Every structure is written in structure tokens, then in C-alpha cells.
Structure 1
């Protein structure tokens, strides 16, 4: 298994000899609803769009997960798997092979990688977006991804998973509450899934943010704190901080069975 962290929520996953582009924001700024004064993300280092993509995987329909300027640069013939809301975004952009997954539904990529949608982040009072479990079907390798730190209790029945790609910090807006609740939830999901590796996502990378919202955000948690917590829970899990833009191999010591 090889991974490349592309900043924010974006990853290139190489599993089962397939290349999966996850929640890509790779070109242009990150702005919600044209409100750059409220929140705007910019890259310090340009990220080239990866080649030979077998699948685009989208967890949410929001701009930081289904980024329209990036999706407009990609080949519309690439298959896409996403939440119901993400599927609406890519269909509106002209993608031709789109599979929307509700919670509990699965998609198998070329008989090599099975992708299961699980409940993820709540967006408002009525919508819950997707997290994903990816499993290599012919060998060792499984991944759980959820970008905001909302982990469904249904994961207790998932068995052990090798790699967790989850946030490890809290990002909160005073009086409004958490945007990301990684610090509050990562220890619990690690105890459920007993991973070999945790890779922080969502609140990192070679990016800078500006705007009114950024000025009031409060961050809590760190890699060091998580390592101490895992050790206190007798978990041998490694916490790896990936270098943005650098491909690296995740060395798994044994096959984790579900």
C-alpha cells in the first residue's frame, strides 16, 4: 500500500494495484459559496494532478471534498464513487460513470478493492455524509477514512482495520461548536478498530488559510498527545505524519482480518 498526502483532505491511495484519488482539492483556492472574506485556503506549493487515476472517491458534496475547479480539470470518464450529495456535484460537471453510495452500500473496483460507505459527518440537522472502509480483496490492506471525526458506533462490527485516515485535532468556532472533532473521537475509534497506523488528515498540509472564520478558530490536540493516549490504552498503533506531496509505503506487519 502506497499513499500520498495532497494536503487538507486530499489523498492518492494506491491499494490493490489501483490508484484512488480521494477528496481532491488540487487547483485554485478553496472558498465556500464565493465568500472568500469568510474563509479562503491557498496552496503554498502547487500540486500536479496525479496521472492514471482508476477511481475518484468523494466523501461529501461540500467544496473541500468535491472541489469543482479540481474536478473540472480531471477526465470526466474516470469512474466516481461518492455520497449522494457528492454524486450530484460530479454529475452536474458531466462525469459519466458515477455511483452514489448510501450508508451500508458497497462498490467493488475491478474485483480488487471493496469500498463500503459508513455514516460520517453530519451536515446540518438532516444530512449525514459518508466515511469509507476500503479493503484489498486479494491481499493485506484495509483503510478507514472519515474527515471530520464523526465515527459511527456501527464500526464496532467492522473488525480490525490496518490504517485509519482520520483527524486528530479539534477545530472549534466559539459559540458554534466543532467543525472537526478529531481529538475527541480518535482514541475511541482506535480502540474499536485496533489499527496498525493512524494518519492525520483534514487539518494539515502545505496550505495557508485566511478570513474571518480562521481568526476565531480554536485548535486542540496534537500528535504527541495522541501517542501518549494510545500508549495509555495499550495500543501499539503508529502515528505517522506524512510529508505533503511525498509518496510513501505503509508497511503492515501482518494481515488484519475482519
Structure 2
């Protein structure tokens, strides 16, 4: 299969006076065996003294970085939109997958979006996964066109999700753990040490009294590395001030409707990285889809990767 790729960005966030090699690679791939972000506790400790600058690479130009730790390492594969495949401690976590059909929220005349690069990547191309992680209950995270066949492919799959998705997930999966913000659980496999997953508060999609959706803190087996993920850059500052994360995955470009913010970024992403004392910020491109329909015509973007970098230096 020919590799198509585009550059996505990772930022390191610590001051430095050196120009040493940074052992990180970050790519967008359509070959699932290739690894986009590769870092262990040793490389991240080294990066404590690095400047805040962008790192990017194309798949055809990169090689895997050697690691001295096999369990405390994250391998991140971006599947476009809000979808990821993460590997940590020998466990594979599938996050908010959209792998069957388009994203249309059941109303394609209003919004209908397809991936730009992984057009031929299908559910059958996935490796065996150990856990499904769902952040939100709407179709761009809890995609029933994908989850129905996924539940048949992996009938005993462990699922960790927001309780808001319970009506959608209970008919499909039998091994589901619903986490409220502040709750945590462990993922274990027969050949690996447990990985800790802790829920944080994400956006409220509805009236103000409704339960928030989830973000997650995922901690490697030896506790050396923690990854934070919330796909709308919406968070509870008071809760996160008690936490730290080495890697933060977040959008940095805002997506706006008239009078409504769909996805945050920019100064909110900078603040997020500072609150969590992040060493890496991996910028998502979850709005970069081939979209049509009325809704897509009125969504506006605010900010750029470059403006985010400028804010990060301030």
C-alpha cells in the first residue's frame, strides 16, 4: 500500500540553550504498522531542557527511534478526525474510532464528512486491540456505524467511556466501564502490566446541569509517563491543576459556529499545556476533513499552528 501523509505538529515546552537531537517522530500514516509519536521516560526527561518549538516529519523520511524502556512508552497513530490508536505497555487502545462510512450525525444533508487521507483504511485493517476509549456520546466520537461491526469483530472488547454514551454502548458491548470525571480504572492484558486511565471533565453538550463529557489521563505501567487527551480543548481548570501530563493531545485551531464554539484551541491550548506542565503538545487536526452540507459552510476556523507557537513563547 502506498503511503500518503501530511505533517502534523508536536511541540516541546521547556527552555534550553542546547541544540541536541530530539528523539521524537510524529507522522500521519495510512499503514497501521508505522508509528507516529515515539517517546519514553528517558527521552522525555531529556526534553525537560528543550525549547518550545515544532517537530514534524513525513512517513517516508523517518525511522523509528530506539528506546531503552519497553513498557513506559507511548506510540500514537493518528487516524484522522478524533480517532487514534495508542500503544502503551504492550496494550493497544482504540480511541473514538470512525472507520466505517462517513461522519454525518444521521443527517447527511446538514453535515457529511469524509477523511482526506485514510480513505481506504477499514476496520479489518486494525490490529487486535485491548480497549476501546470513548470520550463523548455524539457521533464524531461514539460512531455507531463503526461501533456496530467493531462489537462483532471484538465481542469481548474492554470499553471505557463516558456515562453519557451508556444508551449507545450497552446494546453493543458487555464489558464496559463508565467513568465519571475523577474516577479511574486499570486496563490489563495477560502479557502486560496495568495501564491506569483516569477520567477528567470535558465539554457539557446540552443544558448546564448535564453531566460533562470526558477527557482522559492515561498513565504508563511504571508510572513514568502520562498522556492527556480531550478532543475539544475544553477542561475544568480547577480539576486539572491537581494533575500533570507529559504528553498533551489537543486541538490548537478553534472551530466556530455563529455564537457557538465547537472546538477551542489557541490560548486555551497554551493554558492547558501550562496547567499540566506538559513536555509535549501534539496538535490535532480534527477539523481537517472533506466536509459538505450546510453546517460545514458556516464553520469558521480561528488561529493557526504558527499563532499557537507564538503564544507558547509568551
- Do the aligned partners of 1:148 and 1:202 also contact (CA within 8 Å) in 2? no
Moved over 4 A (4+): none
Residue aligned with 2:212, SS? strand
Alignment of 1:3-14 (within 5 A): 3-14=76-87
Aligned length: 227
Larger radius of gyration: 2
CA RMSD of aligned residues (A): 1.4
- The match for 1:136 among 220, 224, 229 is 220
Q: Which runs of 5+ in 1 are unaligned?
A: 233-258
* Contact 1:158 1:193 (8 Å CA) reproduced: yes
Q: How does 1:1-258 map to 2 (within 5 A)?
A: 1-32=74-105, 34-44=106-116, 45-49=119-123, 50-74=126-150, 75-92=154-171, 94-110=172-188, 111-125=193-207, 126-153=210-237, 154-159=239-244, 161-174=245-258, 176-201=259-284, 203-204=286-287, 207-232=289-314
Counterpart Cα distance in 1 of 2:85 and 2:156:
18
CA gap of 1:47–1:141, structure 2 versus 1, over 3 A, is farther
Deviation at 1:202, TM superposition (A): 5.3
CA distance in 1, matches of 2:93, 2:252: 23
Note closer, same or farther for the CA distance 1:85–1:76 as it changes in structure 2 (3 Å cut): farther
Structure 2: how far apart are the matches of 1:76 and 1:85? 21
> Secondary structure of the residue that 1:31 maps to in structure 2?
coil
Q: Is 2:203–2:214's contact at 8 Å kept on the other side of the alignment?
A: yes
Question: Would you say the 8 A contact 2:255–2:262 is kept in 1?
Answer: yes
Q: Which has the higher strand share?
A: 1
Question: Normalized against structure 1, the TM-score is what?
Answer: 0.84
Scaled by the length of structure 2, what TM-score is found?
A: 0.69
In structure 2, C-alpha distance between the alignment counterparts of 1:138 and 1:87, rounded to whole Å: 31
Separation (CA, whole Å) in 2 of partners of 1:197 and 1:76: 35
Contact 1:7/1:204 (<8 A) preserved: no
